[in-house]
Amino acid sequence: MMLENLPVDYRDFLDRIKAEIRLARFKVSLAANSALLQIYWQIGCWILSQQNRSEWGAKVIDKLSHDLRKEFPDMQGLSSRNLKYMRQFAAIYPDPEFVQATLAQIPPLLTFRHFSLCLNKIEAKDLFVKTKYMKITLSLIISFLLAAAQTFGMPDGEKKSKALPRIAIAGLGIESSTFSPARTEEPAFKAKYGEQIFTSYPFMAADSSLRKRAEWLPALVGKSLPGGMVTRAAYESLVKQTLDLLKKNGPYDGLYFDIHGAMSVEGLDDPEGDLITRIREVIGKKVLISTCMDLHGNVSWRLAQHTDLITCYRMAPHEDAMQSKRRAVVNLLSRLESGKGKPAYKAWIPVPILLPGEKTSTRIEPGKSLYAKVAPASVQPGVIDAAMWVGYAWADEPRNHAVVMVTGDDKAKVTESAEMLAKSFWNVRREFAFVAPTDDLKGALNKALASDKHPFFISDSGDNPTAGGAGDVTWTITEILKRPEFKAENGPSLIYASIPGPELVEAAVKAGVGGKIDAHAGAKVDARFAPPVHLVGTVEAIYQGDVNAETEVVVKVGSVRVIVTKKRKPYHKEADFTRLGLNPRKSDIVVVKIGYLEPELYNMRADWILSLTPGGVDQDLERLPYKRIKRPMFPLDKDMKEPDLKAKMVPSSDTM
């Protein structure tokens, strides 16, 4: 809408109202009705004041309405007619203290539409005359408005409006290797509580559409770097806190269950199944639970029973993690809003395959084509979602194997889709290979030294901290420092990331950049393969404040730059190196405790080899002492018979 010859002060006035409305909308989320009525009254006062001081006519009110609705397209109540009602509202009740005290106690069912209905039926001057000479009590005003709303009728939109669904958020996530001596304690989960939880989900920002579709009641979400088994005390503490918070804020219509699916706990099988069972005991069987998981998680029959909707990532590396979490939330909201609720059918198929993630990347075949079948299966009419889990290879529990699940309301399509995906997985089982060429460390170093491609990346895969390794196995760095090629300072440049050594870090901080260091690092947790490494060199960098490592130092030994950390940390991004003054793109060789390279490292590599080094997440699964997984299991039992891949229908959670 265009209007010529706008008053000179119109733009400032518009901006002020925009700012105040934004502030009021925030307050609305805390005290919805009262704050909104108060801002409407305030806008009315401002309009009255502005019209008294400036030559504002009806067209300016129309322009103001147009601009406000353009700025706040999803907000009702900003029509020209309503702005005039706001002005009328302010004229009738000019006393701010009286208005504030009254509106603070107005019940939620009385909205500004009820005020406007009253104002529309009663001449403002008549109402003002009737009330001017009386001391009107709060109860009289509220009674009058209630009676007026009942007399004049509630608009159809308000009659049909439904309360927003009440949805809780909870979950714990970690990959825990049972083949590592490491143990994970409660602080590692860095638990978030209440409103803080929203910071983990960009799609749940305060102004997002999803945030407005429910009354969200986040409880506790804790996510740890992968590591060893979780201590029972840590697990029980986190579970108790979760259950207490859920008890406090119930009842609920839904729950978003955000887990990884590969947690191992001392003395407890299937922790995620245990957690969801205990949550059900608190929130009840009728609540709709939507679960999102890592594709390297494990789906037990118990977990499948107690969840209603379920999905997992479809990419490895997990570039679609946030997209998958959002899908789980959208599925939950859609089922609640539509009234469809729990799916009629849940198909679960265990697939007797156990492979490391380094063989099942979706970057390459057959993983690429296999996972490309999941999305089309999930969007069929009658299907809510389809998901396929590779499972977690470094834990020795009966639930550790691949799984396919499909949920929906069409039994035939749910069943057929699940069986198609399971058979597709089984049929390509022999085609899975490592995502990069492999060799032992000696062979990998020889290839890197002989190559003219730089940087040449080597994955120190056996102690990968993002798969559950202790992260402090010193075997690889010890072997590197033995090599004569790296003894001289002007030898081939090599960056090693990384090894924990809190005592060495403390000594390096005291020595300062340029200072000399003579100390040991690593092997505090996992000394099975080598003792602490002895580093004698020069401190080249110190960085403090990292969320995981806390303090990092770079020690140069010969031509090798070793990153030593106070606490273990994965190195996945270029900035992890550059902020330490290291340029991995200019280094001849970069050795990282990792499996497949994460996207930024993958994109900067000139060449890459995956070294089959020892550790708690040994890539050679046949070297691991499995005792409790279900057998037969491919590839441990290469010539096993064809498995039963028929869909097993999981009972609805409300029948448990």
Q: pLDDT digits over 389-437, tens only?
A: 999 999 999 999 999 999 999 999 999 999 999 999 999 999 999 999 9
> 398 and 257 in one domain?
yes
Q: How far apart are CA 623 and CA 635, in angstroms?
A: 12
Question: Are both 443 and 417 inside the same structural domain?
Answer: no
> What pLDDT score does 71 carry?
77
> Which pLDDT does position 151 carry in this prediction?
38
- The Cβ-side half-sphere exposure at 538, using a 13 Å CA radius, reads 8
Q: Tell me if 366 sits within 8 A of 432, measured CB to CB.
A: yes
Q: How far apart are CA 398 and CA 417, in angstroms?
A: 25
**Based on the domain organization, do 58 and 194 belong to the same domain?**
no
Kindly report the backbone phi and psi dihedral angles of residue 46, in degrees, each rounded to the nearest multiple of 5, phi listed first.
-65, -40
How far apart CA 319 and CA 323 sit, in angstroms, is: 8
Tell me, yes or no, whether 507 and 541 share the same domain: yes
Q: Do 363 and 470 belong together in one domain?
A: no
Distance CA 379, CA 290 (A): 17
pLDDT of residue 109: 46
What would the mean pLDDT of 582-607 be, rounded to a whole number? Answer: 97
| Assigned domain for 66 exists | yes
Q: Which of 309, 195, 194 is nearest to 245 (CA)?
A: 194
| CB neighbour class for 396 (10 Å; exposed up to 12, middle 13-18, buried from 19) | middle
Q: What is the pLDDT of residues 88-133, one digit of tens each?
A: 878 877 877 777 666 665 554 455 555 555 555 444 444 444 343 3
- pLDDT class for 32, splitting at 50, 70, 90? low
Residue of 389, 386, 363 whose CA lies nearest to 374: 386
Looking at the domain assignment, is residue 637 inside a domain? no
Angle at 362 (CA atoms; ends 448, 293), nearest 5 degrees: 120
Q: Is residue 467 one of the residues assigned to a domain?
A: yes
Distances in Å between the Cα of 625 and the Cα atoms of 230, 496, 620, 628, 636 are 20, 29, 11, 9, 11
Residue 389, C-beta contacts closer than 8 angstroms, at least 6 positions apart:
261, 293, 295, 296, 297, 298, 299, 312, 402, 403, 404, 405
Residues 603-653 have pLDDT tens digits of 999 999 999 999 999 999 999 999 999 999 999 999 999 999 999 999 999
Structure confidence at residue 46 as a pLDDT band (50, 70, 90): confident
pLDDT digits (tens, 9 = 90+) for 431-488: 999 999 999 999 999 999 999 999 999 999 999 999 999 999 999 999 999 999 999 9
- Give the pLDDT band of residue 63 (cuts 50, 70, 90): confident
List 175's β-bridge partners, or say none: 262
The runs of H, that is alpha helices, within 185-308 are 209-212, 232-249, 271-283, 301-306
Residue 505 lies in a domain: yes
Handedness of CA 493, 498, 503, 505 (dihedral sign): positive
What is the band of 65 on the pLDDT scale with cuts at 50, 70, 90? confident
CA dist., res. 17 & res. 3, Å (int): 19
CA distances from 24 to 105, 216, 221, 312, 353 (A): 17, 20, 30, 38, 55
- Residue finishing a domain among 107, 130, 160: 160
Among 297, 242, 301, 305, residue whose Cα is nearest residue 275: 242
Q: From edge to edge, which strands make up the β-sheet containing 456-460?
A: 438-439, 607-611, 456-460, 589-592, 494-500, 560-565, 550-557, 533-546, 516-521
Handedness of CA 275, 279, 281, 286 (dihedral sign): negative
Is residue 267 in some structural domain?
yes
Domain range holding 27? 10-160
pLDDT single digits (tens) 267-310: 999 999 999 999 999 999 999 999 999 999 999 999 999 999 99
Q: How many domains does one find in the chain?
A: 3
Q: Which long-range contacts (CB under 8 A, 24 or more apart) does 150-156 make?
A: 152/117, 152/118, 152/120, 152/121, 153/117, 154/114, 155/113
Q: What is the pTM of this model?
A: 0.74
Nearest to 286 by CA among 654, 649, 605, 656: 654
Least Cα distance to 557 among 508, 502, 488, 509 occurs for 488
pLDDT over 90 at 69, yes or no: no
Per-residue pLDDT tens over the stretch 352-391: 999 999 999 999 999 999 999 999 999 999 999 999 999 9
Of 3-17, 451-465, 488-502, the range with the lowest mean pLDDT is 3-17
Give the 3-state secondary structure of residue 110: coil
**What mean pLDDT, rounded, does the chain reach?**
88
In this structure, what are the phi and psi dihedrals at residue 244, rounded to the nearest 5 degrees? Answer: -60, -40
The answer, yes or no, to whether residue 70 has pLDDT greater than 90, is no
Evaluate whether residue 629 is within a structural domain: no
Q: Looking at the structure, do residues 367 and 459 belong to the same domain, yes or no?
A: no
Q: Which residues contact 616 (CB under 8 A, 6 or more apart)?
A: 177, 179, 180, 181, 182, 228, 394, 462, 463, 468, 469, 470, 473, 526
Residues 460 and 375 in one domain: no
Confidence of residue 82 (pLDDT cuts 50, 70, 90): confident
Same domain assignment for residues 30 and 133: yes
**Portion of the chain with pLDDT greater than 90, in percent:** 75
> pLDDT tens digit string along 537-581?
999 999 999 999 999 999 999 999 999 999 999 999 999 999 999
Residue 645 near residue 349 (C-beta atoms within 8 A): yes
Considering the domain architecture, whether residues 399 and 537 belong to the same structural domain is answered as: no
How do strand 560-565 and strand 550-557 relate by DSSP bridges? antiparallel
Same domain, 155 and 194: no
- In this structure, the answer to whether residues 425 and 448 fall within a common structural domain is no
Name the helix (H) or strand (E) containing 151: helix 138-152
Residues in contact with 174: Cβ distance below 8 Å, sequence separation at least 6, in sequence order:
184, 188, 189, 223, 224, 225, 226, 227, 230, 260, 262, 263
Confirm whether 338 is domain-assigned: yes
Decide: 461 and 558 in contact? Cβ < 8 Å. Answer: no
> Do 115 and 145 sit in the same domain of this protein?
yes
Q: What are phi and psi of 348, to 5 degrees?
A: -130, 130
Task: Please indicate, yes or no, if residue 480 is contained in any of the structural domains.
Answer: yes
At 128 the pLDDT is 42
